[in-house]
Amino acid sequence: MATLHDMNGEPMQAASQETVRLLDHAVTGYARARRDTRERLTAALESDPTCVMAHCLDGYLFMLSSKRDSMARGREALGRAHAATAGASVARREQLHLAALDAWSRADMRGAAAVWDTLLAEFPRDLIALKVSQFVLSYLGESEGMRERVAGMTA
């Protein structure tokens, strides 16, 4: 597993640059609310089943649907992410995404938001963290927090 960089220059662990490209394609789909985001993500996961960031995005997409069975599916994606690490060391960005997904999948939205705050402080161009935190903060009615995160990303 190599440390590579996504389209925004943030570090991530992946087996190849092709996996990073495919994940970037999925993240772009998510950011643009494309209907084919899930298919894009499937391609990234098929390219590298050990890509923790891809599994975290998978879990986030399930959680975003706000359906009862989605929490279980989000936790399953979290389990796959942990299994993908197979005891290997996990980079800081991936550790934080794992922690945020874990909190959110246990219905601890404020806990997840706090982890995303840390994530965005350390990795300010993390588009995944920004997008999911915006959703959760909106749900919590924290419009000021939403503005602060965007301002932090554009600073």
pLDDT at 65: 87
Q: Is residue 87 over pLDDT 90?
A: no
Residue-number span of the structural domain to which 130 is assigned: 2-154
Between helices 52-64 and 17-31, what is the axis angle to 10°? 20
pTM for the complete prediction?
0.91
The CATH number of the domain holding residue 115 is 1.25.40
Banded pLDDT at 135 (limits 50, 70, 90): confident
Q: What confidence tens digit (pLDDT) does each residue in 95-115 have?
A: 999 999 999 999 999 999 999
CA 102, 98, 140, 41: dihedral to nearest 10 degrees?
-110
pLDDT at 154: 61
The phi and psi torsions of 6 (rounded to 5 degrees) equal: -80, -175
Q: Is residue 94 over pLDDT 80?
A: yes
- Count of domains forming the chain: 1
Rounded distance between C-alpha atoms, residue 54 and residue 63, angstroms: 14
Banded pLDDT at 139 (limits 50, 70, 90): confident
Q: What confidence tens digit (pLDDT) does each residue in 24-78 have?
A: 999 999 999 999 999 999 999 999 999 999 999 999 999 998 788 888 899 999 9
Q: Is residue 147 over pLDDT 60?
A: no
